Amino acid sequence: MRLHMALPLIALTLAATTVSAPAQQNRLLNALPPVDSRAGPSARDGAPFDPTGYWVSIVTEDWRVRMATPQVGDHVGIPLTPEATKKADSWHPKEDIENGLECKAFGIGRIMREPTRLHITWDGDNKLNIDTDAGKQHRVLRFGQERNADKGEPSWQGFSQAEWIYAPGGANGVGFGQQPDREHGTLHVVTTNVLPGYLRKNGVPYSDQTVVTEYIDYITNPDGSEFLIVKTHVWDPVNLTEPYITSSNFRRQKNKDGWKPRDCHIDIPPPGKPAGFG
């Protein structure tokens, strides 16, 4: 297996365990450096790997809560505040259906955990589109000067600023002080300006103050199969007591087989309460 970059995950894990929550929020909101106006390679030309094409999610963990809607009150593993816990425990899908809010479970805080296919394409040299067939969601990752674009109104997928982080001195992460190795690196994305949504299909909330940071790595296996590893760091000062961190895997497809765009929908959770509820 060839890993193009793992250092950002190490840094992310250390930061999450050593920095206070307010400092975390401030660091994430200012995670990307100012845009350098000097001429340089575009994001497309400088890409250390080709992210384009069709990808399918490989659900290898949290199968129970990702492949189906869990019972109301099942929020194990998510560091909720007491108030957020009350909201999650009292969720009823009927209210969202009546208010046309079926897409709350397909927002940026959870979309990469959804069993879905991705279609990734470049739009010019500094915008990368990610479309999902689940929920028909459309993401735009903005690089370079595009990061300075108007954010517009809050949306399900928010406003995403992106950059390539290149491996220092080679793929093995040694050689600090040398020129970055532009053939190996990770895609770093910070998303803000979001609509409130759900971290889990059963109404576990995140607010409009949420900041989602992602590190997307590319790996290949000896058999030639290719994967994107999406490490997602959700910080919500309203509903979480600490960052919620997940890792999701996507395998490259040879074609668009299985690509079936479908609208957002709400699956009614099973009756009853999870073990230990209350």
In a domain, residue 165? The reply is yes
Q: Determine how many CB atoms are found less than 10 A away from the CB of residue 30.
A: 10
Domain that holds residue 80: 2-31+52-252
Domain for residue 47, yes or no?
Answer: no
- Please give the pLDDT value at position 168: 82
Record the pTM: 0.85
SS3 102: helix
Residues paired with 215 in a beta bridge: 188, 231
Question: Which secondary structure element, helix H or strand E, spans residue 214, and what is its range?
Answer: strand 211-220
Cα Rg, the chain, nearest whole Å? 19
Please report whether residue 134 resides in a domain. yes
Find all residues with CB under 8 Å of 276, minimum gap 6, and list them.
none
In a domain, 183, yes or no: yes
**Cα separation, 18 vs 57, whole angstroms:** 31
270: in domain? no
Residue 251 exposed, middle or buried by CB count within 10 Å (0-12, 13-18, 19+): middle
Whether 81 maps to a domain, the answer reads yes
- Please indicate, yes or no, if residue 140 is contained in any of the structural domains: yes
**Cα gap 122→51, rounded to integer Å:** 9
Helices 7-18 and 21-29: angle between axes, nearest 10 degrees: 140
What pLDDT does 133 receive?
Answer: 98
- Would 46 be classed as within a structural domain? no
Instruction: Count structural domains, the chain.
Output: 1
Per-residue pLDDT tens, the chain, 278 aa: give them. Answer: 555 544 444 444 434 444 555 555 555 555 676 666 555 689 999 999 999 999 999 999 899 999 999 999 999 999 999 999 999 999 999 999 999 999 999 999 999 999 999 999 999 999 999 999 999 999 999 999 999 999 999 999 999 999 999 988 655 555 556 677 788 999 999 999 999 999 999 999 999 999 999 999 999 999 999 999 999 999 999 999 999 999 999 999 999 999 999 999 999 888 877 755 54
